């Protein structure tokens, strides 16, 4: 027979843990010797090892108590459920690890690879870093709030910028950032953008998110807040398109 301290050392738990298991009815109280000390045998050590294994696997203590009295078939079923749960946790942890590694590598935006590749092309076309950062943040917002529609909208913009003439309109929009709000070049740019928009989509088929979404207005307000010139350009375009 061994003491509680010896049992704790052999099994690899604390004496406090053993007492908790006693209090919760997981491990039966052993007989005491003439001095009033608990004395444990091999059967107690085996039971404690089983309880520790279940606890380390994430089984709640209350459920362990029920399992200790369960039939073998029920016990095996619970073990399978625990195994499935661990598999799911491992999968989630690996996904989290992958995200952390991408963050460490500087891939900060949770965007599809097609979008990140698109953003990397923008500087080579002459877009400012300010425009690239703004586009990245806005696409993060769109993909987070409308994942089912975002890829369609992105594909439309990717196709537009693949055309040099249409891409020039976006470049001019980008570089208009520092113009005065009353610069006449804004009127000309608004006119060209409206003409290109109508030529591509017709008068009533502008691509947009689902009806009632507040995201388009939020996106445009973010753009407008960047520059008085951009804000006026938006007003001119909306007036000409009557939207």
- Distance from C-alpha of 119 to C-alpha of 127, rounded to nearest angstrom: 10
Please answer whether residues 7 and 48 qualify as being in contact, where contact means their C-beta atoms are separated by less than 8 angstroms. yes
> Position of tokens 């399992």?
67
Beta-bridge partners for 32: 38
Reading the block at residue 198, the tokens are 């109508």
Rg over alpha carbons for the chain, rounded to the nearest Å, is 33
pLDDT of residue 129: 93
pTM attached to this predicted model = 0.53
pLDDT of residue 99: 66
DSSP, collapsed to helix, strand or coil, labels residue 108 as coil
SS (H, E, C) 102-124: HHHCCCCCCCCHHHHHHHHHCHH
Within 10 Å of residue 218's Cβ, how many Cβ atoms? 14
Please answer whether residues 196 and 242 qualify as being in contact, where contact means their C-beta atoms are separated by less than 8 angstroms. no
Q: What are the residue ranges of helices labelled H in 105-225?
A: 113-121, 129-145, 147-162, 164-175, 184-201, 215-224
Low-confidence stretches of the chain (pLDDT < 70) are 99, 102-110, 203-213, 243
- Distance from C-alpha of 38 to C-alpha of 36, rounded to nearest angstrom: 7
pLDDT of residue 181: 92
Reading the block at residue 36, the tokens are 């009033």
């Amino acid at each position: 027979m061994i003491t509680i301290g010896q049992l704790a050392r052999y099994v690899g738990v604390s004496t406090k843990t053993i007492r908790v298991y006693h209090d919760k009815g997981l491990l039966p109280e052993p007989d005491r010797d003439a001095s009033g000390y608990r004395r444990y045998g091999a059967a107690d050590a085996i039971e404690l090892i089983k309880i520790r294994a279940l606890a380390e696997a994430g089984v709640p203590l209350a459920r362990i108590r029920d399992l200790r009295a369960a039939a073998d078939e029920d016990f095996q079923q619970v073990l399978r459920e625990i195994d499935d749960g661990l598999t799911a946790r491992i999968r989630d942890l690996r996904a989290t690890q992958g995200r952390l590694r991408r963050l460490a590598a500087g891939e900060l935006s949770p965007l599809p690879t097609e979008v990140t590749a698109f953003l990397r092309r923008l500087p080579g076309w002459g877009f400012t870093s300010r425009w690239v950062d703004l586009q990245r943040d806005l696409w993060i917002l769109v993909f987070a709030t409308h994942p089912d529609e975002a890829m369609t909208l992105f594909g439309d913009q990717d196709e537009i910028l693949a055309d040099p003439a249409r891409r020039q309109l976006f470049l001019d929009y980008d570089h208009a950032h520092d113009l005065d709000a009353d610069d006449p070049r804004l009127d000309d740019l608004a006119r060209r953008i409206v003409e290109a928009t109508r030529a591509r989509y017709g008068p009533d088929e502008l691509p947009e998110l689902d009806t009632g979404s507040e995201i388009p207005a939020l996106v445009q307000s973010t753009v407008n807040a960047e520059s008085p010139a951009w804000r006026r350009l938006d007003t001119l375009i909306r007036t000409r398109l009557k939207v």
